Structure formats: C-alpha cells, structure tokens
Amino acid sequence: MRNEDVVMGQILTYAENNDMVRAVILNGSRANSNIRNDIFSDYDVVFLVKDPKYFVDHQEWIQYFGETIIMQQNDIDEDNGVESYIFLMIFEDGVRIDLLFRSIEKIDKCMEDSLKVKLLDKDNILPEFEPANEEKYYTQIPTKQKFDKACNNFWWCSTYVAKSIWRDELSYAKYIYDVVMKDHMLDLISWYIGSKNNWKVNTGSLGKYYKKYLPIELWHSFEKTYSGSSYEEIWESLFEAGKLFRKLGLDTAEHLGYEYPIEDDEKATEYLKKVKDLPKDAMTIV
C-alpha cells in the first residue's frame, strides 16, 4: 500500500504537469491535525481546473493513480449551472482518493470548508487560508424549536415501532427504530456532547467520535440501543434508547434553558409497555 508521501507526491506531480489544473486543495481528515489517520483514511482533494467536464469525458487520467477496485463518479450542481464532478476511487493497493474537479470560477465554494490546506496555486488565484480547523464541523446549538421537535418525534415514532412489532412487521419496525428514531437520538447525543464542550467539538459524521466524548456508562448504554432481528432484542433496545434519551434530554434541556417533555416521555413509555404485553388476538389496547 502506498504511503501518504507517495500518494501526495503523485497527486501533486500530476497537477503540476497538467496545464488544465491550476490549483490543488486538500480537505477532510488528512487536513485535520486532530484526527489520527489510518490505512482507511482517504485523500479528499480538489483540483481547480479550466474545464471540469473534460475529466469526465476523458478518464484516462485515472490510470495514472493505479488500477481501481471500484469507482463512483457523481455530478455536483453548483450555482449558476456550473457543475463540478467528483471521482471516488479505491485502488488495488487499498488507497482511496476522492478527487473533485471544480471550475476555477468557483473558488468561493472552496472557501466554505474550514478543513482546507493549499497544496498548489500556479496563478496565485487562491486567497490566504487560515490554518485548517474543525470550526465548520462543530456541533451547533439547537434552537428551542429544533430541540422540541427532536424530542417529540423520538417519542412519537416509538409508538410506530411498538405497533409494528405487535403486527409482526419486522422491516418497518427496524426502519423506524434504526433510522428515524436513531437520527433524533444522534442529534441529542451530539447536543449533549456539545453542551459539555462549550459547543466547540466535532462529533464526526453520524457520531463516529461519540466513544471519545461520552462517559463510559453512557457509551455502554448507547451500545445497547443497537439490536438484532428478534423482537425481544428490539424491545430491549427500544426501552434502553428511551432511558438514554431521557437522561441526555433532561441534562441538555437544563443546560440550554429549555424544557424536556417529561410528560410525553412518561406517557409514551407506559404506552410502549402496554403494547409489549398485548396478546396477539387483542381487540383493544387498554
């Protein structure tokens, strides 16, 4: 597997020798000094070019970086109809490069990311960059409306999980729990961590850094919110999720000066318990 020096050398050599490439910017984890990179860390690179579409129509350049195992190419619709194109590539030696071709007309778009390092600027078209930092990725303080909505949706959707289990609708129950409810839980956990770190913390995409910031007992509780396919496991994880959501919600609400909907929480929890104990031939819930 090529090391970082080799890969970065290839990227810069290609850019320096291709007249269409006028500047190169590094984004992502390899621009972040707070992240310990590993063998799966990809290279997020932006090529500022004269004609982005050229690199879509003429893809011979990919071979310069090696043989790919798999690749994905996506179009990115920028302002004023100017498109950028990104190539996500995993090569046979395991190296992954995400290479974005962006028009030099869209330099302003490059400035939106706080994790950026200038690697090449042939024409001095790039402004001076501040040192790469995580500010763009800090957890934001939720408005009261956003906090209230997350809490309400979490408990409302818990009733869908309960009735889906009773109806023996596994895929529906799992989707509502694992996707819809879990999204609200991830929001709340991020807010909780943000509140404990003066709102200057990056919890990572989908909470991938939670283990770093949560107290061990809360992390273990979070682990228990992931279930298998049996309904008994789903019930156990659902109640654990409710317990964790309650604890974090009360704490975060107090920190923000908001009010946690404890009445909704308690009533919904009692409802879940009733549905869990319902016989399959029940004709009424209460």
Considering the chain, what is the average pLDDT of its residues? 96
31 within a domain of the structure (yes/no)? yes
Q: How far is CA 213 from CA 174, 183, 191, 196, 208, in A?
A: 27, 18, 12, 9, 10
- At 83, the pLDDT band (50, 70, 90 cuts) reads confident
- Please write the tens of the pLDDT for every residue from 152-192: 999 999 999 999 999 999 999 999 999 999 999 999 999 99
CATH number of the domain encompassing residue 194: 1.20.120.330
Whether residues 81 and 185 fall in one domain? no
284 within a domain of the structure (yes/no)? no
114 within a domain of the structure (yes/no)? yes
117 within a domain of the structure (yes/no)? yes
Whether residues 270 and 145 fall in one domain? yes
Coil, strand or helix: which one is 36?
Answer: coil
CATH number of the domain encompassing residue 97: 3.30.460.10
Residue identified by tokens 């019930």 is: 235
> Residue 77's pLDDT is what?
77
Q: Which tokens belong to 274?
A: 């009733």
Whether residues 48 and 102 fall in one domain? yes
Coil, strand or helix: which one is 76?
Answer: strand
Q: Which tokens belong to 226?
A: 């992931």
Supply the angle between the helices 182-196 and 231-256 in degrees, to the nearest 10: 40
Cα-flanking dihedrals φ and ψ of residue 68, to 5°?
Answer: -90, 145
283 within a domain of the structure (yes/no)? no
> Residue 286's pLDDT is what?
78
Q: Are β-strands 43-49 and 96-103 bridged in parallel, bridged antiparallel, or unpaired?
A: parallel
The last residue of a domain, from among 103, 136, 169: 136
241 within a domain of the structure (yes/no)? yes
Average pLDDT over residues 236-263: 99
Q: How far is CA 23 from CA 43, 104, 106, 176, in A?
A: 16, 8, 12, 45
Closest CA relative to residue 99, chosen from 84, 113, 112? 84
The last residue of a domain, from among 136, 153, 170: 136
The last residue of a domain, from among 91, 112, 136: 136
Which residue range is the domain that position 272 belongs to?
Answer: 139-276
Whether residues 163 and 78 fall in one domain? no
40 within a domain of the structure (yes/no)? yes
285 within a domain of the structure (yes/no)? no
* 46: pLDDT strictly greater than 90: yes
- Please write the tens of the pLDDT for every residue from 130-143: 999 999 999 999 99
H/E segment holding residue 140:
none
- Please write the tens of the pLDDT for every residue from 13-36: 999 999 999 999 999 999 999 888
Closest CA relative to residue 147, chosen from 61, 255, 280? 255
Domain count, the chain: 2
Whether residues 82 and 178 fall in one domain? no
Whether residues 95 and 154 fall in one domain? no
- Can you tell me the distance from the alpha carbon of 10 to that of 73, in angstroms, rounded to the nearest whole number? 20
> Residue 80's pLDDT is what?
65
Whether residues 107 and 149 fall in one domain? no
